[in-house]
Amino acid sequence: MTPLQDQLDEITANTRHLVQPERMALSDRAVAELFASGIEQKILPVGATAPEFTLADASGRPINSADLLSFGPLVLDFFRGRWCPYCVTELEAWRALHSRLREAGVLLAAISPQTSRQSDFMVGQHSLPFPVLSDPGCALAEKFGLAYTVPDYHRAYYRSILVNIPFLNGDDSWRLILPATYVLARDRRVLYAQAFADFRVRPEPEEVLEAALAAVKH
């Protein structure tokens, strides 16, 4: 299987070929400013205790973190939304590994600020076998240190490429999140934490899987 980052780099190359340089410069500026803010160093770290949560899944049913963790270690994949090709590619990579996770006694849940209706579309379109949860207003992501407000100039960029964040997320906050991956032990202790200011970079699922499998052995 092609490494995830290679697939993401191909998306980036294709985007730079198709999108005007001045538009790409806006996106690059937003990434640089996020990185400079130090947000990556402020995320909930390894060794911390993750907050409890109850979030709606794609069908609107409430899903509780305690119930998920009762089965074993939990992988949480925070993603931006179904409109993001990097996020879709990442979740499809997790789809390919899902049977190995379940055989090992590990659960995976994907979390984004998009509405449950958007998640429902996504689950159906991409045949995702794991819960896709809605985090309104990035309230849970905020507790993980992942949430930020999109600056005005970047909002104009999203509008120019027909990505209507307020409609997709169901509010006018223009809050988004850093893509992030966590592994939680059954007691909510953080065993693995990775988040990137550059949305074009993600950890390899195989690396995350190893951390989850180590949690099962302990």
pLDDT digits (tens, 9 = 90+) for 115-149: 999 999 999 999 999 999 999 999 999 999 999 99
pLDDT at 218: 64
Q: Which of 96, 112, 98, 94 is nearest to 180 (CA)?
A: 112
pLDDT digits (tens, 9 = 90+) for 39-84: 999 999 999 999 999 999 999 999 999 999 999 999 999 999 999 9
Q: Is the pLDDT of residue 1 over 80?
A: no
pLDDT at 215: 80
What is the residue extent of each domain of the chain?
A: 4-43+53-217
Contact 204, 5 (CB under 8 A): yes
Q: Is the pLDDT of residue 106 over 70?
A: yes
Query: Is 94 buried (19+), middle (13-18) or exposed (0-12) by CB count in 10 A?
Result: buried
pLDDT at 92: 97
Q: Which of 187, 188, 193, 186 is nearest to 211 (CA)?
A: 193
Residue 191, both tokens: 């065993």
User: What percentage of the chain exceeds 70 in pLDDT?
Assistant: 100
User: What percentage of the chain exceeds 90 in pLDDT?
Assistant: 87
Task: Look up the pTM and report it.
Answer: 0.95
CATH of domain 4-43+53-217: 3.40.30.10
